[in-house]
Amino acid sequence: MTSEETELLNSEIEDLSSQEEEPTKFDPGETIDIPSQDLIDDLNRAPEVITRSLIPLDNTVKNGRRLGFYSTLVLFMGRMLGSGIFATPGLIFQECQGSYILYLFVWIWATLISYTGLSVFLEVSSFLPVSGGIKKFFNYIFPKPLHLSNFVIGVFNVLFSLSSSNALVFGEYLLYSLGFRHNEVTVKRIACALLAFGGLAHGWSRNVGIGCQNWLGGIKLLLFTIIVCTCFIVLVLPSSSTGLEKTKLDLNMPPLSTFTGSIYSTAMLKCIHSLGGWTSSIIVSNDIKNPVKSLKNAGYLSMFLISTIYLALNLCYLIIIPRSEFLDHDQLIGGILFTRIYGQKLGRLFINLIISISAATNVLISIYSSSVLNQQIFKDGFLPFSETICQNNRFTGTPLYAIFIHVLLSCLVIYLPETGQISIYNLIISIQYYPNQILHAILCFALLFKLRKRFSNIRSPAHSNTFLVYVCLIGSMSIAVTPFINGNYKFTLFSLSVFCFGFLYWFAKVKLLPRLGDYHYNILTMKSPDGLRYNKWVKVHNS
């Protein structure tokens, strides 16, 4: 390094130090290969089994833990009880060739995979109780090659942690409930307006954003009773009392040759999308008081309640809506059910309330959790403008730029051109949730054969049954592999290309360009006045 470059680097550090705490050399922190000394001491106490986390809680940000058990439950329930159960059943029924038995099988299998996935995530998150979700998990479990998991998972999450699908359903159902005809342009404008409102709420103040989603989540839990009453009317009361005409369920299997691997995969992704959202709470662990206990209790309670009501609602769809009508209505099947039971006026009112509040709550929670995740990714410093985007705004105390990135990308995806007969809603679900199944399968494998093997006498505070981990592994792998069986795998290529882009970006920035340019990076860990720590990559030419 030349004397001029040394002076430039020192002046940059001094300039940063004048505004913030003095920078320190980058420390990758504790990983599976570099555990803390107290963890090593506990490992040496084998065969005694010790229940503990692998790393300590992160309490570096002032006043960081704002969410108690109720707020955590709202995050789970508010995100899981979403618009998917009202919007995807018609699409799933079409992909199941109108078969009642295939339709029920797909939902039950997806519910089991979701439950086991939650169990796996809760175990790993209790091992590693910090914000960031799967990004932080992979950083700890796969520390080598250095920075690779950061780049691949980081790029994927910034591009694919979106709120587009729920915003689109909100626009669709709002038009339906007000009696207007479907108009694609209007639906997209309403969706973007909802995203903008959510971004403003969370960008204005942490308390305002969390307060809005807690308030909407509370109303959403009250509306949960309407759904329960609906299921009771259909499933328990006799037709003579309700006046509802019930269809005859045909449980014959269709020719399995028509139920291809790609159809199975996309149908499962839609079910998992409807049951999904439980990762949002795990992503914001640093904001939760007593995160290990709160996540475990709120997570399992939410999954039990949601899976039970979803199974009951699906039975209501099959019993009340004739097969031909079920096949013809895509994202409006929930509206059909409620108007059949409560009449045109009251049914529209109920579905308007449930879908609007469900979608709005989901969008608010998604913006919140995704902005936290984006902030964690930009704190690593490898993406353009990271130093600016990762900061909390000094006036609002919120990750304003990270929120803006999420809202902007979600709006841009809404305006992607449709491909053939595939709707933009269908496309978003497929490309957003398919890569997650690959990551979940890798995480299951890592839990079984890396974490548990490396720390054989350390038991997670939220230990998952080994059988459930294998079920999650097999289920996620089946969704990831089946599209390639019959050659219809176009929707998977776009998703996988983002992983490839992350790898190529890492290879170019960390390996190729430094070698060609004869330089290396000094990674400095900075600290903002509010306690936020982030990395700054400083290019230094070799002497």
CB 48 within 8 A of CB 331: no
Given strand 21-25, what is the order of strands in its sheet?
A: 21-25, 519-527, 533-541
pLDDT on residue 423: 62
pLDDT at residue 114 tops 90: yes
- At 124-158, the pLDDT tens digits run 999 999 888 888 899 999 998 989 999 999 998 89
Distance CA 455, CA 123 (A): 13
Distance CA 214, CA 195 (A): 17
Q: Taking Cα atoms as reference points, which of 362, 306, 268, 295 lies closest to residue 119?
A: 295
Distance CA 304, CA 462 (A): 17
Whether omega before 461 lies within 30 degrees of 0, making that bond cis, reads: no
pTM of the model: 0.83
- At 389-425, the pLDDT tens digits run 988 888 888 889 999 999 999 999 888 776 555 566 6
Q: What is the mean pLDDT of the chain?
A: 84
Question: 């060609």: which residue's tokens?
Answer: 516
What are the structural domains, with CATH classification, of the chain?
Answer: 33-518 (1.20.1740.10)
Which of 12-26, 52-66, 488-502 has the lowest average pLDDT?
Answer: 12-26
- At 213-253, the pLDDT tens digits run 778 877 777 777 888 888 888 888 877 777 777 777 666 66
The percentage of residues in the chain with a pLDDT greater than 90, rounded to a whole number, is 30
Q: Which residue has the higher pLDDT, 419 or 307?
A: 307
pLDDT on residue 464: 94
